[in-house]
Amino acid sequence: MKRFFAMLMTGMAVTLSVTACGIKVVDNGTETVIYDDSENTEQEGEEKASDETKTEEAKTEVTEEDTDDEENYETGDASLDDPGNQDEIGDKELLVISFGTSFNDSRRLTIGAIEGDLKEAFPDYSVRRAFTSNIIIDHINKRDGILIDDVDGALKRAVDNGVKELVVQPTHLMDGYEYHDLVEEVSEYAGSFESVRFGEPLLTSDEDFKAVEKAITDWTKEYDDGETAIVFMGHGTEADSNSVYGKMQDMLTEDGYKNYFLGTVEAEPALEDVIASVKAGEYKRVVLEPLMVVAGDHANNDMAGDEDGSWKKEFEKAGYEVECLLRGLGENEDIRKLYAEHAKAAMEVGEELKESKAGDTKEIKAEDLKDGSYEIDVDSSSDMFNIEKCSLTVKDGKMTAAMTMGGKGYQYVFMGTAEEAQKASEKDYTGFEEKDDKHIFTVPVEALNKETDCAAFSKKKETWYDRTLVFKSDKLPRNAFKEAEAENDSTEIRDGEYESKVELKGGTGRASVESPAKVTVKNGMASATIVWSSPNYDYMLVNGEKYLPVNKDGNSTFTIPVEAFDKEFKVIADTTAMSKPHEVEYTLKFEAVK
């Protein structure tokens, strides 16, 4: 798995290349570097360590000489924090994975508090801890004599403890590079447990954004006096997920919190952008607070440090009275509740999948569909058999599905049970095609909306494991069905222009489209002119096909096909209103025209 630092330490004198995530301390003319990071988002660079040696190296005996004079500041009593690596834990484990921090008090008050709330919420699960940063793990071990598991070590410990049901809840803020690397690393152990389920990052759904917005504004309302700019500092990333900061800023502004500002240490909006935005208002004071799970190095130094270049110093230079709130999001009870909700959703995914299988959705076979290629969703009984996207091909009365996997842990798949796969010949196995650094398995599909046995062969364990898949029909366009042709033959809709009431759902709930919309029917095919409430949409996607605006001025306007009347269908609209373009999923529903 990728790590997001690159450092080299030698004894008391340290020579290394650091990112903004290092703390430089000068003591008696000697520069010492303390490595730490305070956030579970994206880090720059790569921390590389051997999978075979990194856990053992962390167990090196700590001596008094090793820890002497390494830091000249106090981060709290490490003995008050529970490293969460006990054994004999039963067969149900909730593994909480964080980037980590060596700031002991903040670790206890944030990551420790999240873990504590999860223990209380889910008493049937043994809650355990893992950090993704081996540098932080080694530093805590050397300084305090406390060993915290890395991800590989925690997973091996779970296997050794006989865990059957593993739920993984990361404390990451967003679905970025590190989160995806984490999913891939855990997926290598998928065959070692009866079930593995993965919780989502903090900011995933629109409901998450709304909940976090309420949490941080309630938390700071005592400073909201009309004369104070309240500024949150995030980490930032070069990944597309950096758009979460722009989305949150837009929500705050639209909801009337115009004195709230967001910036990042490593990306956009940068400090200079935030200062410019604050200067545009008539504020006398600035309150700084990290938009990070813990208050570690970034909060204490990049934000609240007394050296030139810190956010505190730069705002003071700009003429503002500055107050710094050194507290991580993990100290906020409402934020912790949101992580618990994500963990609960992960635990219930098996039940939800069972319900979706057991529903009264009609099975769809190749004979029901027109030849063509369609993007569909696939439900999997295992989070670790993670299908990122799936393309269904219908041709000559047969269906095949090209499944793009989220990890690389499987060598083969077999459409049947693990027992059947073991008895089959290797020529009956389906290998993967590698494209754009992704593994793609193309398999036959008997029917949509039907439970389908699929055995997966783990590279790591060299064992077949049972998975259950449901290839779903709900994303198929209406004109993919042969029955639609018969309906069109008997329809009363003649070629011409009509008006249709249209309902839009999705996004933050603030966007809208004009209703009624103009609908044109030509040669039995319907299209609609969609006029958005904003000029900031640069394209739309309908059934995977891109549509560009048909206007030059005013609000964004598109002509798109109407896949169905009186039925919701999914579309994607790309907005440029944020710091980076961001695709947002919506549903449209057109009232039938006559």
> How far apart (Å, rounded) are the C-alpha atoms in residues 24 and 44?
18
Structure tokens at 174: 């967003």
The letter for the amino acid at 404 is T
| pLDDT attached to residue 352 | 52
User: Judging by beta carbons within 10 Å of its beta carbon (0-12, 13-18, 19+), is residue 146 exposed, middle or buried?
Assistant: middle
Angle at 96 between CA 129 and CA 334, to 5 degrees: 125
Known catalytic residue: 342? no
| pLDDT attached to residue 478 | 73
> How far apart (Å, rounded) are the C-alpha atoms in residues 177 and 95?
20
> How far apart (Å, rounded) are the C-alpha atoms in residues 401 and 471?
9
> How far apart (Å, rounded) are the C-alpha atoms in residues 442 and 439?
10
Q: Which domains does the chain have, with CATH numbers?
A: 206-329 (3.40.50.1400), 361-471 (2.60.40.1850), 478-590 (2.60.40.1850)
- Strands 285-290 and 260-264: what pairing? unpaired
Structure tokens at 545: 């096909």
Provide the residue count of the chain.
594
Residue 107: which of 137, 85, 72 has the closest Cα? 137
Q: Are 39 and 233 in contact (CB under 8 A)?
A: no
| pLDDT attached to residue 479 | 76
Q: Are 549 and 519 in contact (CB under 8 A)?
A: no
* Low-confidence residues of the chain: pLDDT under 70: 1-73, 349-361, 483-492, 508, 578-580
Q: Which of 139, 235, 439, 582 is catalytic?
A: 235
Phi-psi category of residue 16: left, alpha or beta, with phi > 0 → left and psi -120 to 50 → alpha: beta
pTM: 0.62
How many Cα atoms sit within 13 Å of 83 on the Cβ side? 20
Structure tokens at 488: 């069109």
Place of tokens 């440090």: 305
195 DSSP β-pair partners: 165
| pLDDT attached to residue 448 | 95
| pLDDT attached to residue 14 | 31
| pLDDT attached to residue 358 | 43
Phi, psi for 242 (deg, rounded to 5) = -60, -20
